[in-house]
Structure 1
Amino acid sequence: MRLRAEQLAGALAKGLAPVYAVCGDEPLLTDEAAAAIRAAARTAGAERQSFQVETGFNWGAWAAGFDSLSLFASLRLVELRLATGKPGVEGGKALEAWCANPPADTHLLVMLPRADKAMQGSKWYGALDRAGVAVHVQVPAPEQLPAWIGSRLARYQLKTDAETLAFLASRVEGNLLAAHQEIEKLALILPPGPFDLEAARAAVVDVARYDASDLPEAFLKGDAVRYCRIIDGLEAEGETPILALWLLAQELRTLYRLAAGVEAGEPLPALMRENRVWESRQALVSRALKGLRAAELALALREAGRVDRASKGLLREDAWALLKQLGLGLMGKSKLKNEFAYGY
């Protein structure tokens, strides 16, 4: 059975499953899910044993160690952490065997990274899924972050308006652990009840953390504010523009091929498949494509080359500023939009 993290508490209230698989790349959320399972097991009187799977891990000895009950507890929670999400052939068979016949009075908790397509298609993962509960931890998208913060504040009987939630989200974007810490700090210094933007500003520091991989999505969504915030954040963190530019240029090349194909009379769905635009991203890419012509995108790719030269010190220009101008121009948020109409 597969659950979202927010469904876990309700499932645990009905009793412990023989097997749990917690999948995700966000440490705060995966640790919270695991902590909830541990707490339920502890309440049931279980003794916890923890194992870290590394190169050379002895799966045979691990499985053999649970043939008899502990001398100190009638229940056990066995925690297995697979940081790579790849148990190997021997490990996969050991997990399948466990799930086919779980040891008496023993519950298994397997900690895994995000469950990608390859993992979900494996026999050992399927065995875990069928034998118990697979908890898929999802990181809130930027547009979901204010609501996520609001729900967390509610745990401390704190409430605020949409503007303040948006402010808090902008200060901790990409850093859920920092968001958690800031919420806890607000709970310590503010009394239960509503609070306003001024109180939030006085208490919260800017701990946003950005990744270059966030930039293309902000561009495709036409979110100029976030696009600029990511660039400013990366620059402030001392990053170079090279990776961010490469990721954005990849999107521009795809958009160019799609636009050129559509203008030549080819159907967009076929072009999407040909250019390997996954179904989950097709709506986003399709929206970004509206209003963009192939010639305009070709000029944008030329401008990307200019940004690349500036980032390597071959031009005496600010590469970050050029990258910002490039995206804003295509989004129609800058005078550069007019330059695309005439060329350079």
Structure 2
Amino acid sequence: MRIYPEQLQQHIKQQIPNCILIFGDEALLTLEAQDLVKQVAKSQGYLEHFSFSLDGNFEKDEIYSHLQSLSLFSDKKIIGLTLTKTSKENTAFLREIAPLLNDDILLLLQGPKLNNQQLNGAWFKKLESQGLYVAANAPSAQHFPQWVFKRLKSLGLQANKEVIDFLCVHFEGNLLAAKQEFEKLALLYPKQNLTLHQVEQSITTHNHFSVFQWLDSLLAGDKFRSQRILQQLKAEGLELLILSATLSSEVQKLLKLSYQMQHTPLPQLLNQHQPKLWTSKQALMTEALSHVTTQQLEQLLMQCAQLEIDVKVENSSDSWLTLELMSTTFYR
């Protein structure tokens, strides 16, 4: 069963399953989910904890030994495994140990965000059927305000939309900093309805964005968000070539779809796309193709190629301005 971090408590408080999978790209949510599982497991009699990393030289025999050495008088145990990569050897091992799980053993498996192919793998489906899959991914821009609201509420704080929007601008992409600042606000203004003035006086900016968040904001046609992310990436010293190459790759995909749309409906093309696209990604590509023409994409692709040449030859500060102007193609 797939659940989200905020649902974990209610699913394990009565009876913890014998397998919990925690995968995602957000370190804070992953860590908090692990801590909660260990805390609840301890209250339910899981007093031993053994951790292993499934890297190139992990101790198979020792893990098997812990899974098979049961006694009427021994404590229940947690076997914590970190999946560094989904290699054939690792996934085969996970399929092998799945039948060994029982009510005296909790398998706690954690790792980075999985793609659709990995989520549909036999090893994953087998383990998920025996327990819970916690998707510990960073909240999207759409869901981040709700995350902020709930996090403040859990600390006894209230805030109106203006305050929450302000916090979102300053902390999107950096949940750990958000957690620390919110806890500080709870100490400064306990049980209060926060005002914008209080928040402005207290916090410092902790935005941290990725290239892919910038790209998604472009596809969505979100001018304010894409410009804000681009300026932050520039301030962090990200190489312009990385942005240009990422944009060029995405434009090529869109252009191919734009050509194919002349003969095949876009929903069908997106469903047949390989590698398989997340539903959210399909929605973004649909949005982009609804207001960006084939001719504009062709021109944008040529501009990406020229920008790459300009950066390599001149490395001018004007190149950033060029990229900003290119981005306007996606704005609604």
User: Do the two structures share a fold, i.e. TM-score over 0.5?
Assistant: yes
Give, in angstroms, the shift of residue 327 of structure 1. 0.9
Separation in structure 1 between the aligned mates of residue 15 and residue 264 of structure 2, nearest angstrom? 55
CA offsets per residue over residues 246-285 of structure 1, 9 Å max, x none?
12222323333444455x5654345546775836233322
Matched, 1:111 2:114: no
Q: 1:4 to 1:279 in 2, by over 3 A?
A: closer
Separation in structure 2 between the aligned mates of residue 291 and residue 224 of structure 1, nearest angstrom? 14
Q: 1:15 to 1:320 in 2, by over 3 A?
A: same
Matched, 1:169 2:168: yes
Separation in structure 2 between the aligned mates of residue 139 and residue 159 of structure 1, nearest angstrom? 22
Corresponding residue for residue 35 of structure 2: 35
Separation in structure 1 between the aligned mates of residue 271 and residue 124 of structure 2, nearest angstrom? 28
Separation in structure 2 between the aligned mates of residue 168 and residue 82 of structure 1, nearest angstrom? 34
Corresponding residue for residue 268 of structure 1: 266
Equivalent position SS for 1:213? helix
Corresponding residue for residue 10 of structure 2: 10
Q: 1:51 to 1:295 in 2, by over 3 A?
A: closer
Separation in structure 2 between the aligned mates of residue 269 and residue 68 of structure 1, nearest angstrom? 52
Q: Is the 8 A contact 1:100 1:131 kept in 2?
A: no
Of 305-314 and 225-234, more deviation after overlay is shown by 305-314
Q: 1:270 to 1:134 in 2, by over 3 A?
A: closer
Separation in structure 2 between the aligned mates of residue 265 and residue 107 of structure 1, nearest angstrom? 52
Corresponding residue for residue 236 of structure 1: 235
Separation in structure 2 between the aligned mates of residue 162 and residue 38 of structure 1, nearest angstrom? 35
Q: What pairs with 1:53-72 in structure 2 (closer than 5 Å)? A: 53-69=54-70
Q: Is the 8 A contact 1:309 1:315 kept in 2?
A: no
Letter matched to residue 51 of structure 1: F
Instruction: Give the gaps of 5 or more residues in structure 1.
Output: 333-344
Q: Is the 8 A contact 1:63 1:94 kept in 2?
A: no
Separation in structure 1 between the aligned mates of residue 11 and residue 103 of structure 2, nearest angstrom? 21
Separation in structure 2 between the aligned mates of residue 58 and residue 107 of structure 1, nearest angstrom? 18
Separation in structure 1 between the aligned mates of residue 64 and residue 328 of structure 2, nearest angstrom? 57
Corresponding residue for residue 308 of structure 2: 308
Q: 1:251 to 1:181 in 2, by over 3 A?
A: same
Q: Is the 8 A contact 2:50 2:78 kept in 1?
A: yes
Letter matched to residue 80 of structure 2: E
CA offsets per residue over residues 281-327 of structure 1, 9 Å max, x none?
33322222223332233222333233223322437451111111111
Letter matched to residue 151 of structure 2: R
Separation in structure 1 between the aligned mates of residue 283 and residue 292 of structure 2, nearest angstrom? 15
Separation in structure 1 between the aligned mates of residue 253 and residue 102 of structure 2, nearest angstrom? 52
Separation in structure 2 between the aligned mates of residue 160 and residue 44 of structure 1, nearest angstrom? 37
Separation in structure 1 between the aligned mates of residue 36 and residue 58 of structure 2, nearest angstrom? 27
Corresponding residue for residue 19 of structure 2: 19
Equivalent position SS for 1:180? helix
Instruction: Give the gaps of 5 or more residues in structure 2.
Output: none
Separation in structure 1 between the aligned mates of residue 272 and residue 122 of structure 2, nearest angstrom? 30
Letter matched to residue 61 of structure 1: E
Give, in angstroms, the shift of residue 202 of structure 1. 1.0
Of 303-312 and 12-21, more deviation after overlay is shown by 303-312
Q: Is the 8 A contact 2:67 2:100 kept in 1?
A: no
Letter matched to residue 60 of structure 1: D
CA offsets per residue over residues 49-88 of structure 1, 9 Å max, x none?
22222221121232113443589962222212222244x4
Letter matched to residue 238 of structure 2: E
Separation in structure 2 between the aligned mates of residue 270 and residue 68 of structure 1, nearest angstrom? 52
Matched, 1:180 2:179: yes
Q: 1:158 to 1:70 in 2, by over 3 A?
A: farther
Count matched residues: 329
CA offsets per residue over residues 223-254 of structure 1, 9 Å max, x none?
11111111111110111111111122223233
Letter matched to residue 59 of structure 1: K
Separation in structure 2 between the aligned mates of residue 312 and residue 40 of structure 1, nearest angstrom? 55
Equivalent position SS for 2:84? coil
Q: Is the 8 A contact 1:115 1:136 kept in 2?
A: no
Give, in angstroms, the shift of residue 104 of structure 1. 6.1
Separation in structure 2 between the aligned mates of residue 52 and residue 315 of structure 1, nearest angstrom? 43
Q: What pairs with 1:240-319 in structure 2 (closer than 5 Å)? A: 240-262=239-261, 267-269=265-267, 272=270, 276=274, 278=277, 280=279, 281-314=281-314, 316=316, 318-319=318-319
Matched, 1:100 2:99: yes
Q: What pairs with 1:94-243 in structure 2 (closer than 5 Å)? A: 94-102=93-101, 105-243=104-242
TM-score between the two structures when normalised by the length of structure 1 = 0.86
* Structure with greater contact order relative to length (CA < 8 Å, sep ≥ 6): 2
Corresponding residue for residue 338 of structure 1: none
Q: Pairwise CA RMSD of aligned residues?
A: 2.6
Separation in structure 1 between the aligned mates of residue 223 and residue 203 of structure 2, nearest angstrom? 24
Give, in angstroms, the shift of residue 171 of structure 1. 1.0
CA offsets per residue over residues 4-30 of structure 1, 9 Å max, x none?
222211111221212212121211111
Separation in structure 2 between the aligned mates of residue 302 and residue 170 of structure 1, nearest angstrom? 33
